[in-house]
Structure 1
């Protein structure tokens, strides 16, 4: 790693910045992991779109359908394909703590920059906060790599800002992906924003959070490579304008993407986010492929509606 455990916070404050994207994993028609397709996507994201960091093997990447060895291979390929040109944050999330620890150590040994671990689903627990704190402390004690917390409704609860602030005191906690109502992440930012990065996956709120909360990190979902092409990088453009303090022009550029956001939103079936995202990637010339069972594939009618919406949204391919 490029930092020691005790230097993790300072290193992340300086280097963990800009737009980071959560990777969808391409699979072949027979369900096998498409390693070359994954490398091809990474080249496009890093070289053409200048995405500064990649979130690997998360929910977008269907980690729940992958074996432990596949997840390790996913990590290895991402580190190799990025080759220092973009940073990496590897999902070590799992309900089995031994698996979390094994993936965390593997990411550290492979040269990943950081890991992210979502709050566990809990059963028969009354002292929830103490249990979750102990969960992250146990992992911090085991590894040196910088760790991002991740709280989202899928865990069955949301971590309170007070709990997050307590966990943020652990030496190698460097960030949180906080998928919560805005008032919660605003409160946490005021509490610990000088210690760790607070971020959320909502691209629609990204510019406001740069301006109002001083955020430097978008961590992260698929919009960085779904709203942009090699010749149409408006998310990158409005982000750089905002970082430079030109918020009026940044808002104009951001708002010009509303037809693209609407095209994605109104054609995405509620139960098929990964399948829709992969098909949108294919329209953009990226490698998508099918989703793995038990996720649902897009129907031909859903694909036709998505392609029609894309052709009308104004996102340029050439």
Structure 2
């Protein structure tokens, strides 16, 4: 580890900055993890798109379809390929707490910079505050690595700002990916923004959050490599302008991406998010690959529609 638990917050504040993308995992024709394809994508994201960090083995990456050993290998590939040129945060999320801890220890040992830990499914629990605090504290007590909370309606609930603020006091809680309505993450940012980094995956709100909330971190989803190509890095461009305080120019560039956002919304089947993302990647020249069950593959008709929308969205490739 590059730091100890008591230094985790300071380390993250200094190093967890800019655009971090959640990686889709390319599976080959036999549905094995295509390691070379993943490495190729990582090199493109870092070297050509200037993405500053990667979120590995999350829901975008279909971790739920992967074995424990595959998830560990996923961590190792990312750490090896990023090689200090980009940050690495890995999802150790699992409903089995022992499995999550085993993954967290592996992440720490293999050189990941941080872990992200999804709030657990808490069936029948009505008063969640103490349960959630003790859950995250158990990981903090065992680990030095910085931990990002992750709250999303997938858990069956969302963590309340007050619950998150209490957990944020733990020494190696460094961030939260807070997938909630904007008023909730604004409230939390104002409560704990001086202690941990608050972020959400909504790209179209990213610029506003830099300007209004002083955010330094986009954590994270697939837009950084679906909205951009080596010849068209508008998300990076408006981000850098915003960080420099040039908000009017940043908004012009941000707004110029609206045709791309709308094309993605029109073309993406509601039941096939990963398959869509991978096919869009392939149109951009990245490695896409197959999805694993229970996720569904695209039909030929869906691929045709996606190709048509891609062709007129205005992205330069």
Supply the distance in 2 between the matched residues of 1:235 and 1:125 (Cα, whole angstroms): 40
| Aligned residue number for residue 33 of structure 1 | 33
Instruction: Give, in angstroms, the shift of residue 47 of structure 1.
Output: 0.2
| Aligned residue number for residue 13 of structure 1 | 13
Supply the distance in 1 between the matched residues of 2:18 and 2:62 (Cα, whole angstroms): 24
- SS of the residue 2:131 aligns to: helix
| Aligned residue number for residue 187 of structure 1 | 187
Whether 1:260 and 2:266 are equivalent positions in the alignment is no
| Aligned residue number for residue 96 of structure 2 | 96
| Aligned residue number for residue 108 of structure 2 | 108
- SS of the residue 1:40 aligns to: helix
| Aligned residue number for residue 214 of structure 2 | 214
Supply the distance in 1 between the matched residues of 2:202 and 2:66 (Cα, whole angstroms): 26
| Aligned residue number for residue 157 of structure 1 | 157
Instruction: Give, in angstroms, the shift of residue 127 of structure 1.
Output: 2.8
Instruction: Give, in angstroms, the shift of residue 126 of structure 1.
Output: 3.2
Supply the distance in 2 between the matched residues of 1:299 and 1:119 (Cα, whole angstroms): 34
Instruction: Spell out, residue by residue over 1:254-302, the C-alpha distance to the aligned partner (whole angstroms, 9 max, x if none).
Output: 0000111111111101111000000000000101111101111111001
Instruction: Spell out, residue by residue over 1:71-107, the C-alpha distance to the aligned partner (whole angstroms, 9 max, x if none).
Output: 0000000000001000000000000000100000000
- SS of the residue 1:117 aligns to: strand
CA RMSD of aligned residues (A): 0.6
| Aligned residue number for residue 249 of structure 1 | 249
Aligned positions of 1:302-317 closer than 5 A: 302-317=302-317
Instruction: Give, in angstroms, the shift of residue 50 of structure 1.
Output: 0.6
Give the count of matched residue pairs. Answer: 317
- SS of the residue 1:174 aligns to: strand
Supply the distance in 1 between the matched residues of 2:281 and 2:124 (Cα, whole angstroms): 41
TM-score normalised over the length of structure 2:
0.99
Instruction: Give, in angstroms, the shift of residue 4 of structure 1.
Output: 1.2
Instruction: Give, in angstroms, the shift of residue 124 of structure 1.
Output: 2.8
Instruction: Give, in angstroms, the shift of residue 123 of structure 1.
Output: 1.7
| Aligned residue number for residue 128 of structure 1 | 128
Supply the distance in 2 between the matched residues of 1:123 and 1:265 (Cα, whole angstroms): 33
Instruction: Give, in angstroms, the shift of residue 29 of structure 1.
Output: 1.1
- SS of the residue 2:186 aligns to: helix
| Aligned residue number for residue 236 of structure 2 | 236
| Aligned residue number for residue 294 of structure 1 | 294
| Aligned residue number for residue 201 of structure 2 | 201
TM-score normalised over the length of structure 1:
0.99
Whether 1:66 and 2:73 are equivalent positions in the alignment is no
Supply the distance in 2 between the matched residues of 1:142 and 1:114 (Cα, whole angstroms): 14
| Aligned residue number for residue 49 of structure 1 | 49
Instruction: Give, in angstroms, the shift of residue 228 of structure 1.
Output: 0.4
Instruction: Give, in angstroms, the shift of residue 67 of structure 1.
Output: 0.1
Instruction: Spell out, residue by residue over 1:39-90, the C-alpha distance to the aligned partner (whole angstroms, 9 max, x if none).
Output: 0000000000010000000000000000000000000000000010000000
User: Structure 2 stretches of 5 or more lacking a match?
Assistant: none
Q: Is the 8 A contact 2:3 2:144 kept in 1?
A: no
User: Structure 1 stretches of 5 or more lacking a match?
Assistant: none
Instruction: Give, in angstroms, the shift of residue 2 of structure 1.
Output: 1.4
